[in-house]
Amino acid sequence: MDIYYLVIFFILGTVLGSFYNVVGFRLPKEESITNPKHSYCPNCKHKLGVLELIPILSFLFQGGKCKHCKKPISIFYPFIELLTGGLFAVCYYSYRFSPDLIIALTLVSLFSIVIVSDLNYLIIPDEVTLISILICAGTILYRDGFDGMITALGNGVLLFGIMYCLMLLGDTLFKKESLGGADIKLMFVSGMTLGPLLGVVVIFISSVVALPVSVLLYTVNKEKLIPFGPFIVFAILFLFFLKVDVLRLLEFILAK
């Protein structure tokens, strides 16, 4: 039965990953995600048929090219579909049918959209972050009750405040914008889903992971700006799946 559900969640993830591509590419350009309703080739605007919309497989069957204009299709599209599908399967494997599954799926969805929008446009749509916060808050309300939800929201505000102070410090030191406002809003999600201690760890992990990647990309293209949003959401997901109890970990370290 587990294999059955893993396959179902993988397929669901690839389908939603295809939709997240649309969201990530359209919202930063202030385009509607429902009008036009159909997907189209970004080169020739050809309306995609049913067979051209099958996640991952359509890219392989068409040899990575538009069936109409023969222009190459970005590998980015099937990558997001495969990534989302794989992570959806991991979500089910980790949490089965529980409230935490909803939170995990929401974080994966946020991760996929942020990758698309932030890497391509250096923009994280506020609508996406807000919807993620509302879904997580509603799930926490169901899981932990009203008091639990208020605590989670308070943790979100705390992490938002910490990140905001870091932004002001960075702006002062570097005499330019050091962090985007959308990155700070992601820390609200971090505090709400992980708590204040792991929320701080998110800042550390995302910075450590981003540093070598940024240095590598800088050597390739010194003009290209490196978005920080994907690293933040990656760190949130990593810690959420790891299920680290920070207090117990600190007690163990101090005991030694």
Tell whether 154 and 248 lie within a shared domain.
yes
Alpha-carbon distance 67 to 43, whole Å? 11
pTM of the predicted model, to two decimals?
Answer: 0.90
Last residue of one domain, picked from the residues 64, 97, 130: 97
> Based on the structure, what is the number of domains in the chain?
2
pLDDT > 60? residue 27: yes
pLDDT digits (tens, 9 = 90+) for 130-175: 999 999 999 999 999 999 999 999 999 999 998 899 888 877 876 7
Return the pLDDT at 256: 58
Return the pLDDT at 248: 63
Tell whether 64 and 169 lie within a shared domain.
no
Q: What's the domain range around 147? A: 102-256
Q: What is the dihedral of CA 3, 242, 230, 22, to 10 degrees?
A: 20
Q: What is the dihedral of CA 80, 117, 198, 256, to 10 degrees?
A: 60
- With tokens 């899981």, the residue in question is 143
Tell whether 252 and 158 lie within a shared domain.
yes
Q: What is the dihedral of CA 208, 210, 212, 215, to 10 degrees?
A: -140
- With tokens 């995600």, the residue in question is 33
pLDDT > 80? residue 187: yes
Tell whether 141 and 253 lie within a shared domain.
yes
